Amino acid sequence: MPAIDEGLARLALANGTVLRGRSFGARRTVVGELVFNTAMTGYQEVVTDPSYRGQIVLMTAPQIGNVGWNRGDLESTTAHAAGFVVRELSPTVSNWRSEVGLHEALLAAGVPGISGVDTRTLTRLLREEGSLGAVLSPVPVSDCSDEELVAAARRWGGMEGRDLVSEVTCPAPYTWEESSLRMPGEPAAASFGPPGALGHAVVYDFGVKHAILRQLCDVGFRVTVVPARTPPDEVLACRPDGVVLSNGPGDPAALPWAVQSTQVLLAKGVPLLGICLGHQILSLALGGRTYKLKFGHHGINHPVKDLRTGRVEITSQNHGFSVDFASLHGVAVLTHLNLNDNTVEGLALPGRPVLSLQYHPEASPGPRDAGHLFCRFARLVRGEALDGEGG
């Protein structure tokens, strides 16, 4: 394993704050939106989630890196977070599945990291001021002053109006056949049969996580993934039994072409499942509005209430925008509510096989409270009416 370069790194924020720490990962300067993630596990899934494109991720857990890095937990083929901020980088890796350390993985992916900074204070700052433009840089002060880094952070254009989906989507359609990994003795996921038994699911890749594709296979779908700008007539030519609008990065309002494609599919009556960004795109297609959250939802401990059952689930989330439910009054039914801030977490269309979720039912790394929602979508595809959905 390559030695960690403990040279100086700086994190400069648009509000003028500059912090010094130790460099790890790639030695390059990046700019992006600084956001905090409250997960205590799953940093590998975070770094490789395409939804983090353009963002510098701050982990609130005090030590990161102790379980290393392995190919089985990748959520895409590469890292997507622009940079990584931790309080302490673990000096040892102790998990039996680890193949390389976090430093080595980020070095290979070109992602810079900084350790030794006060992440607690940074998190409080972001909660008070909101997500901020930031620059993470290992460049010596003699080459670039603090003031120059702050100026670069202030020049960063922000997330609103940015189409980042075009940077992360697949270049061509492909078939996905891999089911979820289960540990010895772990029971199989609820299923309607082997992949293909339930029918054909076509997934629009707005930045899809591998775990979503695995869960679709788990419940019995044959899965085809298509690029984000695939015309809806080409999707319909695949004869899908259901279409999934995946998660992804950036501002949903910057994707009018995705909204238009979704409107065509809605008009054709195709069963639809929207997840995260896909949920927002579906809402826009129904005539709704979205807005930027102050600091977003990033973590694996967000309580969400299912308004149909009264059940509260702890969910995995990663998004900076939300749906204005008032803009969908009389069009959609609110099915899930965030108990931290009362934002929209799920929608359904009465009498139609359409549902959407702001959070991530596939979780990865967890928790798995909401995994049953893939079965709910499967039952809609089968034509079963569920609590006002489908029929």
Catalytic residue positions, numbered? 276, 360, 362
Nearest 5 degrees, angle CA 277-CA 273-CA 321?
20
Q: Cα torsion at 106, 111, 114, 115 (round to 10°)?
A: -20
Q: What secondary structure does DSSP assign to 144-178, as a single string?
A: S-HHHHHHHHHHS--STT---HHHHS-SS-EEE--
- Helices marked H in the chain: 43-47, 102-109, 119-129, 146-155, 165-168, 210-219, 232-237, 256-268, 277-285, 372-381
Nearest 5 degrees, angle CA 59-CA 169-CA 177?
95
Q: What secondary structure does DSSP assign to 40-83, as a single string?
A: SS-HHHHHT-GGGBTEEEEE-SSEE-TT-B-GGG-SSSS--BSE
- d(CA 319, CA 293) in angstroms, rounded, equals 9
**Residue corresponding to tokens 């670039």:** 144
Which candidate, 376, 186, 132, places its Cα nearest to that of 272? Answer: 376
Which candidate, 310, 131, 254, 261, places its Cα nearest to that of 244? Answer: 261
Cβ-based neighbour number of residue 205 at 10 Å: 26
Question: Is the CB of residue 37 less than 8 Å from the CB of residue 57?
Answer: yes
- d(CA 255, CA 280) in angstroms, rounded, equals 10
Half-sphere exposure of 372 (CA within 13 A, CB side): 4
At 310, is the secondary structure helix, strand, or coil?
A: coil
